[in-house]
Amino acid sequence: MDLLDNADDEMLEKLESLQNVDEDMKRRVFSMSEKKYEKLKDERYFTENDPVEGVETYRRPHWLSRAMAAAAALVLVGGGLGVYKLLDRNGRPDMQSEVSEERPPVTVQVSTQTTTETTTEAAEMTTTETAAEAVQSATEVTTQASEDHTAEKDENEQKNENTDQASPDQLTEEERHQIYNDLFGQYMTLDQKKHTALRSGEEMITIYMLDSEQSSAGIYPEYADKAVEHDGKVYMPINYYKIDNPEFTTLAEMRQVYSAFADQHYIDKVMGADVTGCGNNGFLDVVEANYPDQFVEYEGQVYSLDNEIAALHLEDIPELDGKSFPVSSNYFFWESNYDGKFFEDWQGGYGFTTVDMVLRRQDDGSWKIYDLLMGQSDKAYYSAIAGNEVPTLMANMYDSFQNLAN
């Protein structure tokens, strides 16, 4: 019967005539088709370069692009944990960052005006603070919390003493697992505190991000009512929520705390600009390189794009399995699957979590998180991904790394 595989059109006609349709299956498939169609219809508005035929062409709000860098199979958790910035504009991994660690100067043009005002007072704010300077300024802020964290870091470094200077292929799988567990544990410990704050309207700010320098005509209908025209340009609102974390208050302090376990690349990826000059309900003109990202600072406090997520304790969630995907002497990927959810309040109550992490060896030989992505799904999904040859959530990124390494 294998002869009939990949049949041509004439053969397909004959095969169809020999097919007895299972009515139950047919009903099932129709129901699935309808659900998928409804979903596609919704997603169509988010899809860039979607060839829309016969009707008016819409475009997606510019700021949505970041949220859309997501894998399909799992529900991704944590808006700022996407893979977006790991790839440069040509879609290649940003492996050059091991040469240049310095954060480029951030230039943000700000028009200070609330939505209700009719006149514009344009101002320009130029931030030339580099990442190194930000960290330097953070070290001058001595807090008990950061000292505690440094102590944790020292302990961790001691634990990893034997694995320092070793490239992934020189490490055993157990050692790679240990490195991953240490870093993920530090990340989650901090994350639990980060997300425990209850958010309210008073703790939220809204920044109107530049969407287009054209008029709002042609913007997707469901966003058109949110778009605001100002000074001949179109802006879209983004909400940020204040973080209540005893470990840090400002972005500089947060950078310092995260530097214990996160690579500069990851820190730069998730931590953005100080938007104080913009003001609540203000307009922010940004370019891609200066995007405010997952975390912004406003009046000396860190704000996050995330809200209403509460993390559970790492030790309460059993790890089902974990495996490494080494790609070069300085990088490896690690994937672990957990029989539980890390985020208690996540919609749908998904009870299975996959974590993909990229780890990068630092100049001092220690390992830090270069990138991280978490996804939650049903437990049944585990059977579909168990034994994957590539990291589930970071398959494309893994391919890019391998191509670059080879």
Partner 1 sequence: MTGSEYSSMLSASPEMAHKALFDEYFGYAYTIVHNRLRGSASAEDIEECVSDVFADVFLKYERGDFSGDMKGYIGTVAKRRAVDRYRQLKRQAASVSLEDDAAAGLRAATDITRESEKRELSRILLDRILSLGEPDSTIIMQKYYYNKNSRQIGTLIGMKASAVRMRCSRAAEKLKTMLAADGLLGE
Q: For partner 1, which stretch binds (CB under 8 A), given 50-58, 94-102, 122-130, 199-207? A: 50-58
Give yes or no for residue 99 binding partner 1 (CB under 8 A): no
Size of the site for partner 1 (CB under 8 A): 47
CB of 38 to partner 1, least distance (A): 9
Q: Decide whether 320 or 390 has the Cβ nearer to partner 1.
A: 390
User: Which residue, 28 or 313, has its beta carbon nearer to partner 1?
Assistant: 28
Between CA 28 and CA 23 the distance in angstroms is 9
Nearer to partner 1, 3 or 99 (CB): 3
Contacting partner 1 (CB under 8 A), which of 48, 55, 140, 318? 55
Binding mask 12-31 for partner 1 (x = CB under 8 A): x-xxxxxxxxx--xx-xxx-
- The number of beta carbons lying within 10 Å of the beta carbon of residue 339 is 14
Told to check if 4 binds partner 1 by CB under 8 A, we report: yes
Measured from the CB of residue 51, what is the shortest distance to partner 1 in angstroms? Answer: 9
- Rounded to 5°, the CA angle 360-365-368 comes to 35
Contacts with partner 1 in 252-281 (CB under 8 A)?
none
Query: Which of the residues 369 through 398 are near partner 1 (CB under 8 A)?
Result: 384-390, 395
Of 18 and 99, CB closest to partner 1: 18
With respect to partner 1, which residue has the nearer C-beta, 68 or 122? 68
Q: Minimal CA–CA distance to 46: which of 298, 169, 223?
A: 223
Residue 56 sits in the site that holds partner 1 (CB under 8 A): no
Give me the least distance between CB of 73 and partner 1, in Å please: 9
Told to check if 57 binds partner 1 by CB under 8 A, we report: no
Q: Which of 41, 96, 116, 121 binds partner 1 (CB under 8 A)?
A: 41
Decide: helix, strand or coil at residue 316. Answer: helix
Name which position in 48, 49, 52, 398 contacts partner 1 (CB under 8 A).
52
Q: Does position 47 bind partner 1 by CB under 8 A? A: no
**Which pair of structure tokens corresponds to residue 15?**
């095969």
- Inter-CA distances, 108 with 101, 129, 177, 286, 294, Å: 21, 12, 41, 6, 16
Write the CB contacts of 43 (distance below 8 Å, at least 6 apart in sequence). Answer: none
- Using CB under 8 A as the binding rule, whether residue 48 contacts partner 1 is answered as no
Quote the tokens at residue 281: 């309900």
Compute the least distance from the CB of residue 393 to partner 1, in Å: 13
What angle do helix axes 144-159 and 251-258 make, rounded to 10 degrees?
20
Given CA atoms 52, 56, 57, 62 in this order, what sign does their dihedral have? negative
Task: Specify the residue, 75 or 228, whose C-beta has the smaller distance to partner 1.
Answer: 75
In the complex, least distance from residue 214 CB atom to partner 1, rounded to whole angstroms:
24
Nearer CB in complex with partner 1: 2/225: 2
Q: Minimum Å distance from CB 30 to partner 1?
A: 5
159 binds partner 1 (CB under 8 A): no
Cα pseudo-dihedral 181, 136, 144, 359, rounded to 10? 0
Which of 48, 49, 54, 315 lies at the binding interface for partner 1 (CB under 8 A)? 54
Q: How far apart are CA 293 and CA 209, in angstroms?
A: 11
With CA atoms as reference, report the closest residue to 296 among 314, 277, 316, 322: 277
- Per-position b or e across 53-81, b if 16+ CB within 10 A of its CB: eeeeebbbbbbbebeeebbeebbbbbbbb
Residue choice 6, 119, 144, 406 for contact with partner 1 (CB under 8 A): 6
Q: Report the residue number, 10 or 121, with the smaller CB distance to partner 1.
A: 10
Q: Is the dihedral of CA 29, 33, 39, 40 positive or negative?
A: positive
Report how far residue 342's alpha carbon sits from residue 316's, in angstroms, rounded to the nearest whole number. 9
214 binds partner 1 (CB under 8 A): no
Work out the number of other CB atoms within 10 angstroms of the CB of residue 199. 18
Cα distance between residue 13 and residue 377, in whole Å: 39
CA–CA separation, 184 and 182 (whole Å): 6
- Minimum CB distance to partner 1, residue 46 (Å): 14
Contact set with partner 1 (CB under 8 A): 1-12, 14-22, 25-26, 28-30, 32-34, 36-37, 39-41, 44, 52-55, 384-390, 395
